[in-house]
Amino acid sequence: MNQFYSIQELVELQSIIQNPKYPNNRQGLEYRAKKEQWQFREEKSIGRNGTTKKYLIPFDLAVSIQNHLNLNTNENTDVVTVKPETDVTQPANQLTHWQREIAENRLFIVRFLQQQVIQGVRITRAIEQFIADATSRSLPPELQQAVLKANAKSGEERMVSRRTVFDWVSTTEVAEQKNMNVISVLAPKERAKKDIPAWAEALLQLWAKPQKPTLAACLELLPNYYSGKQPSYTQAWNFIKKLGAVEREKGRMGPRELKNIKAFIRRDSSVLLPADVYTADGHCFDAEVAHPMHGRPFKPEITAIIDVATRKMVGWSISLSESSWTVLDAIRMSAVSNGI
């Protein structure tokens, strides 16, 4: 397959394949090639200067072109045989959990499609039927869930495209032909880490105060802590805005307030039976009562134990203050009254 194309050839091909990731006009493609520093070679031509530049196009664009050529030449030859970008593939032992999970689900889909081919179904028809079933939610539950995870896009309504599935199939076959690790090749690339500005550390020291100073006040004091080029208000605000919610409010909020904005994992308790799991917590009573010894107002400590399956309070205790004996008394009541 030819991997070098002139800009004019790419414009003509884009008008047919309509790859949404790339522009379909000459100016846009020239800008993209220059910005991303596509490799090129000069070949003789009858045009201006007697030469023309032919660019080594990106892998995904090459796949789109090859898929189009295959469909127009031979319906039986749909799998793309384009050399994957092995130089940027991460080793399998360096993949993060989310990368490995996505790659495994993609491979699961590819194996399912390969089984269809073994049974005599053409790969094009198998992929089109697979996408139709995924869109109508008629796939088996485990396969439907694999589509959502493999697509690696937010929103359950976003289904995988025909071209994307072709990419997975072709990448897998090329990797297996070259004895490469399929999981590494199918894994999405690691998210690029942006450079942190030199003034960021000093700015965050001023920003992360419990008094919650404004950004303008922080920038006014910043020259005392950082002697380099000072950021504008817009630069500083864009940096602060891109921080995660917890990181942005660290130092400005206390531990209890930060807990309210931290992410959590929703657990499924539908498979639990009564007394399988108990959960306990202690609280300071939200009102003052008379102390049993000296009569002055005080707030007692209340410990409650709840059965996770039924949400029933199975044990409780009240004490003058927080202690291990208070917790033990609540556990004793839950075990004696409702079982272990």
Strands (E), the chain: 4-5, 40-44, 51-56, 278-284, 289-290, 297-298, 301-307, 313-319
- Report the C-alpha gap between 67 and 128 in whole angstroms: 14
Establish if 63 belongs to a structural domain. no
Establish if 68 belongs to a structural domain. no
Establish if 192 belongs to a structural domain. no
Establish if 271 belongs to a structural domain. no
Establish if 109 belongs to a structural domain. yes
Are both 97 and 136 inside the same structural domain? yes
- Report the C-alpha gap between 78 and 269 in whole angstroms: 46
Are both 181 and 206 inside the same structural domain? no
Establish if 26 belongs to a structural domain. yes
Are both 95 and 177 inside the same structural domain? yes
What total number of domains does the chain contain? Answer: 4
Are both 249 and 294 inside the same structural domain? no
Q: Measuring CA to CA, which residue among 41, 50, 49 is closest to residue 3?
A: 41
Counting Cα atoms < 13 Å in the Cβ hemisphere of 25 gives 2
Are both 90 and 182 inside the same structural domain? yes
Tokens representing 28? 């846009």
Q: Are 299 and 288 in contact (CB under 8 A)?
A: yes
Are both 104 and 136 inside the same structural domain? yes
Find the CATH number of the domain harbouring 245: 1.10.10
Q: Measuring CA to CA, which residue among 44, 46, 56, 50 is closest to residue 7?
A: 56
Are both 108 and 179 inside the same structural domain? yes
pLDDT in tens, the chain (340 residues): 456 778 888 887 777 777 778 887 888 888 888 888 888 877 766 555 667 788 887 777 777 777 666 655 444 444 444 444 434 566 666 778 888 888 888 989 998 998 888 888 888 888 888 888 888 888 888 888 888 888 876 655 667 888 888 889 888 888 888 888 888 888 887 665 567 889 999 999 999 999 999 999 999 999 999 998 999 999 999 999 988 888 899 999 998 888 888 877 777 888 899 999 999 999 999 999 999 999 999 999 999 999 999 999 999 999 998 899 999 999 999 999 998 8
Q: Measuring CA to CA, which residue among 82, 147, 158, 139 is closest to residue 108?
A: 147
Please give the model's pTM, rounded to 2 decimal places: 0.38
- Report the C-alpha gap between 48 and 285 in whole angstroms: 86
Expressed as residue numbers, the domain containing 30 is 4-57
Establish if 42 belongs to a structural domain. yes
Are both 49 and 98 inside the same structural domain? no
H helices then E strands: how many in the chain?
A: 14, 8
Are both 182 and 90 inside the same structural domain? yes
pLDDT in tens, 133-183: 888 888 888 888 888 888 876 655 667 888 888 889 888 888 888 888 888
Establish if 69 belongs to a structural domain. no
301-307 and 278-284 beta bridge pairing: antiparallel
Degrees (nearest 5) of the Cα angle 103, 107, 111? 175
85 alpha carbon, distance to own chain's centre? 22
- Report the C-alpha gap between 237 and 258 in whole angstroms: 21
Phi, psi of 306 (to 5 degrees): -120, 140
pLDDT in tens, 287-314: 999 999 999 999 999 999 999 999 999 9
